[in-house]
């Protein structure tokens, strides 16, 4: 005869707790799977942390329009500018991780933490989806009425006359300012930086009555060069631009590791279910690899990435954040200790 020892109240309580916990975890798992299978079933909001019409907004908006046609759901592009992009970033990082709030990240996410108190981690607080586009690069432009026909001629005069030449920038903690600081450090020049409200305004002020030059983004520099107002002397990335192939790169001109290309990526709040991230990555790649999207980005001096996984974007951001810290040290600006 087998004797069954009576279960103690403690053991009964533990078994009941385990059953309830197991059931709760199973419910969460099933809910996640169901949510992912049903996704998307309502409009998606994409947060762009800069103003409409800017270098992050335009590719994000083109992409959003083409993506919503594919998935059959409205994608609302919501601009939340401020704090060099950190206002929109903080909003997106705090959003519910359900795939209905996405974030257009950019090179600012690798730069800001070196200069500003950023209330979130631009990598760990997001689930990366993939890159929308790479570029545009900065282009070194000068007033077309100046005599310099090459970067070497410009730098020779800058060395001979230290206070003669000034470049417009879009403020201290920005790519144009860091590019100028790197050029001054490598060429041993002292070209002054004159801050403007934005890179577009800085480029437009390259004129006989304004500044002598600037590092301007391709989409700003090309129309000014085509109209004869400025002359392009160098591209600030390792490869020449297909649509402006006559302009040499800084690397060709003896300035290695001179790479100021932006990017626009797509991310979601951390803890967004993996099936949703995988779905969005596939749809993203299907959009950006179309000839229509490629053509529209090429006109802006931007290119579509070849490798485009969530892991690639996360690794790129980690490496770029480290590199931007090294560049930031060249600016002479008091740097922020990253949190």
Task: Say if residue 106 is in the same domain as residue 171.
Answer: no
List, in sequence order, every residue forming a beta bridge with 140; answer none if it has no partner.
215, 234
Give me 317's structure tokens: 């951001």
Q: Is residue 336 part of a domain?
A: no
pLDDT, residue 5, reads 47
Outline where DSSP puts E strands in the chain: 44-48, 75-79, 101-106, 126-143, 166-169, 192-195, 213-217, 230-235, 261-269
The pLDDT tens digits of the residues spanning 116-153 come to 899 999 999 999 999 999 988 999 999 999 999 999 99
Number of folded domains that form the chain: 2
CA distances from 88 to 68, 75, 79, 119, 335 (A): 22, 17, 8, 11, 22
Task: Say if residue 125 is in the same domain as residue 152.
Answer: no
Q: Is residue 118 part of a domain?
A: yes
Task: Say if residue 94 is in the same domain as residue 232.
Answer: no
Rounded Cα distance, 195 and 198, in Å: 8
> Which of 244, 276, 307 is at the close of a domain?
244
Q: Is residue 218 part of a domain?
A: yes
Task: Say if residue 45 is in the same domain as residue 192.
Answer: no
Q: Strand, coil or helix: what is 154?
A: helix
Q: Strand, coil or helix: what is 280?
A: helix
Task: Say if residue 143 is in the same domain as residue 127.
Answer: no
pLDDT, residue 28, reads 46
Q: Is residue 1 part of a domain?
A: no
pLDDT, residue 82, reads 87
Give me 298's structure tokens: 């090429």
Task: Say if residue 127 is in the same domain as residue 145.
Answer: no
Task: Say if residue 118 is in the same domain as residue 208.
Answer: no
Burial 185-213 (b: 16+ CB within 10 A, else e): ebbebebbbeebebbbebbbebeeebbbb
pLDDT, residue 199, reads 85
Give me 150's structure tokens: 């090459």
pLDDT under 70: residue ranges of the chain: 1-36, 333-339
Q: Is residue 42 part of a domain?
A: yes
Q: Is residue 224 part of a domain?
A: yes
Asked if residues 260 and 235 have their Cβ atoms less than 8 Å apart, the reply is no
CATH number assigned to the domain comprising residue 57: 3.40.190.150
Q: What is the mean pLDDT of the chain?
A: 89
Domain that holds residue 321: 38-135+261-330
pLDDT, residue 30, reads 47
The pLDDT tens digits of the residues spanning 213-257 come to 999 999 899 999 999 999 999 999 998 988 899 999 999 999 988
């Amino acid at each position: 005869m087998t004797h069954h020892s009576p279960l103690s109240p403690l053991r009964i309580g533990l078994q009941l707790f385990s059953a309830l916990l197991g059931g709760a975890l199973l419910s969460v798992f099933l809910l996640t799977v169901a949510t992912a299978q049903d996704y998307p079933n309502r409009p998606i909001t994409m947060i762009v942390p800069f103003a409409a019409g800017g270098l992050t907004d335009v590719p994000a908006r083109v992409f959003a329009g083409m993506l919503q046609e594919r998935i059959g759901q409205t994608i609302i592009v919501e601009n939340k500018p401020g704090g060099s992009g950190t206002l929109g970033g903080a909003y997106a990082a705090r959003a519910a991780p359900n795939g209905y709030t996405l974030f257009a990240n950019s090179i600012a996410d690798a730069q800001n933490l070196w200069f500003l108190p950023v209330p979130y981690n631009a990598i760990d607080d997001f689930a990366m989806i993939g890159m929308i586009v790479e570029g545009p690069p900065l282009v070194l432009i000068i007033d077309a009425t100046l005599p310099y026909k090459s970067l070497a001629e410009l730098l020779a005069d800058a060395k001979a006359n230290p206070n003669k030449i000034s470049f417009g920038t879009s403020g201290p903690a920005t790519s144009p300012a860091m590019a100028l600081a790197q050029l001054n450090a490598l060429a041993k020049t002292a070209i002054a930086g004159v801050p403007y409200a934005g890179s577009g305004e800085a480029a437009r002020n390259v004129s006989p009555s304004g500044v002598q030059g600037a590092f301007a983004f391709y989409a700003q520099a090309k129309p000014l060069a085509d109209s004869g107002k400025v002359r392009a002397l160098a591209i600030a990335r390792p490869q020449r631009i297909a649509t402006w192939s006559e302009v040499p790169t800084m690397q060709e001109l003896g300035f290695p590791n001179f790479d100021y290309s932006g990017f626009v990526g797509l991310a979601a709040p951390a803890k967004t279910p993996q099936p949703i991230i995988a779905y969005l990555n596939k749809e993203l790649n299907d959009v950006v690899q179309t000839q229509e999207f490629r053509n529209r980005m090429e006109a802006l001096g931007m290119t579509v990435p070849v490798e485009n996984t969530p892991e690639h974007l996360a690794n790129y951001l980690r490496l770029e954040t480290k590199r931007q810290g090294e560049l930031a040290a060249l600016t002479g600006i008091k740097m922020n200790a990253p949190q």
